[in-house]
Amino acid sequence: MKFLSGGVILILLSLIINGCKLPANKENVVRIKGSDTMVRLTQMLAQEYMKTDSAAVIQVAGGGSGTGVAALINGTADIATISREIHKNELTRAIAEGHEFKVDTIGIDALVVVVNAGNKIPFLTISDLKNIFTGKSRNFESVGGPDLEITPYGRENSSGTYEFFKEHVLKGSDFAPSVQVLQGTAALADAVSKDKKGIAYGGIGHFMGRKDVRIVPVKISDKITIPPGGLLTPEAIKDGPYSLKRYIYLISDSKGNKKAADFIGFVKSPEGQKIVKQLEFIPLY
């Protein structure tokens, strides 16, 4: 059985809401592409925005932050969703193609590490995580856990989550060949839920509320372990010492689709920020 993509579902939803009428012109269509971490959030925001604008059709797709920026540059997207800083070479290419990129911060995401629900490892340090994902540590026992071989799962290299983890945890070192690469954080969560040896990383929103995976406390210093008692609070993410956090962005062309600008305005409004919070991201205010 084939399942419809999120973008197709949103189009059908809009047609139902609008009495099965197509939008009057292409300016009413907003194509959004990019971060898999942000897909679920963007879909929810799109659904709510279309309730306020009966003419709008919002199409949402993932593929990774880099894929989203490339689509914005080549004209196949009106908004790129990214979960990392935009690269200098991406800006250079955009300028060369005649674009004027506008970068809007819409929230904060915490990157967390999860294991199978049955793995009761008490905590991991940043050094432990580096050793696991570079292949130096191959058994949980070597990092304070059970005598269990490690199966690490990670994201594809077009992912902003991949880039963030490589920079802030691996400190620029390469991932081990043993890391099993999957597309999308939801796929990582599903894999670890079925693999008692599994460990993966990703945005907190994909793991909160799941009973089949467990967020592992990260030891920041001798005195600070986050999440204390297994609970990572918004305060610890936004203002506290938790270091695995990043801003999430919407990028658009200031000379592009006006409907895209309207949608971004909605996302940054109090109504939009409530949805950001609802999906386990930290809102701007």
Higher-pLDDT residue of 30, 184: 30
Over residues 91-122, the pLDDT tens digits come to 999 999 999 999 999 999 999 999 999 999 99
pLDDT at 277 over 50: yes
pLDDT band at 25 (very low <50, low <70, confident <90, very high): low
109-238 sits in which CATH class?
Answer: alpha beta
Q: pLDDT by residue (tens digit) across 220-254?
A: 888 888 877 656 788 878 888 888 999 999 999 99
Give the mean pLDDT of 125-135: 97
Query: pLDDT value at position 16?
Result: 43
- DSSP letter for each residue of the chain: -PPPPHHHHHHHHHHHHTTSPPPSSGGGEEEEEE-STTHHHHHHHHHHHHHH-TT-EEEEE-S-HHHHHHHHHHTS-SEEEESSPPPHHHHHHHHHTT--EEEEEEEEEEEEEEEETT-----EEHHHHHHHHTTS--BGGGGTS-S-B-EEEEE-TT-HHHHHHHHHTSTTPPPPTTSEEESSHHHHHHHHHT-TTEEEEEEGGGTTT-SSEEEPPEE-SSS-EESGGG---HHHHHTSS---EEEEEEEEETTS-HHHHHHHHHHHSHHHHHHHHHTTPBP--
- pLDDT for 222 equals 81
Three-state SS for 173-212 is CCCCCCCEEECCHHHHHHHHHCCCCEEEEEEHHHCCCCCC
Buried b (16+ CB within 10 A) or exposed e, 108-124: bbbbbbbbbeebebebb
- Per domain, the residue ranges of the chain are 6-108+247-278, 109-238
Mean pLDDT, residues 9-35 taken together = 64
Average pLDDT, the chain: 89
pTM score of the predicted model: 0.81
The answer to whether 140 and 116 are in contact (CB under 8 A) is no
**Which pLDDT does position 230 carry in this prediction?**
57
Pick the CATH number of 6-108+247-278 from 3.90.650.10, 3.40.50.1100, 3.20.20.140, 3.40.190.10: 3.40.190.10
Mean pLDDT of all residues in 135-150: 97
- Cis check for the bond before 227: say yes or no (omega within 30 of 0): yes
Give the residue from 158, 157, 159, 171 showing the smallest Cα distance to 129: 171
Question: Which residue did the predictor score with more confidence, 123 or 223?
Answer: 123
Check if 6-108+247-278 and 109-238 are the same fold. yes
- Percentage of the chain exceeding pLDDT 90: 73
Give the mean pLDDT of 23-32.
80
The bridge status of strand 218-219 relative to strand 151-155 is unpaired
pLDDT at 229: 61
pLDDT of residue 9: 47
Determine the pLDDT at residue 3.
46
What pLDDT does 57 receive?
95
pLDDT of residue 2: 45
Is 14 a residue whose pLDDT tops 80?
no
Q: What's the rounded mean pLDDT across residues 82-98?
A: 93
Tens of pLDDT, residues 32-41: 999 999 999 9
What pLDDT, on the 0 to 100 scale, is given for residue 232?
78
Whole-angstrom distance, CA of residue 110 vs CA of residue 117 = 20
Split at pLDDT 50, 70, 90, the class of 19 is: very low
